[in-house]
Amino acid sequence: MFMYVYRIFRLVIIAFFITYFIGCFWFMISDNLNTEADIKNKMTFVTHFELENISNWRKLIISCYYTLTTLATVGYGDYYPISDMERLIAVFLMLCGVAFFSYIMGSFIEIIANYK
């Protein structure tokens, strides 16, 4: 029983770390790699949602939340990519999200099947 709980816990930790690192990558792209015109016109994720002047923890939470909803292809719509570069990266994230959650769910189903 302990081994099954450990394997499920490991899947949760993997999902957490992947979401964290992609969320940090997403914020870095939106904050640093957009064009000056997009930044000036508030056409980036960071400037559109006014994430410049909030605490780093809140930035991290919002970025990870956006990343998780994008990876899960749920996309609630409260946070979304603004610039064209962000949209292209979001498409890539959605495609990776399908593979990511397929792996997580496949592993979870395997754990449940082996438990029986």
Each of the 116 residues of the chain gets a pLDDT tens digit; together they read 888 899 999 999 999 999 999 999 999 999 898 889 998 999 999 999 999 999 999 999 999 999 999 998 888 889 999 999 999 999 999 999 999 989 999 999 998 898 87
Query: DSSP of 45-66, one letter per residue?
Result: HHHHTT-TTS-HHHHHHHHHHH
Residue 46 CA, distance from chain mean position? 15
Domain boundaries, position 36 = 2-115
Number of folded domains that form the chain: 1
**Predicted model pTM:** 0.86
Give the CATH number for residue 62: 1.10.287.70
Is 90 within 8 Å of 53 (Cβ atoms)? Answer: no
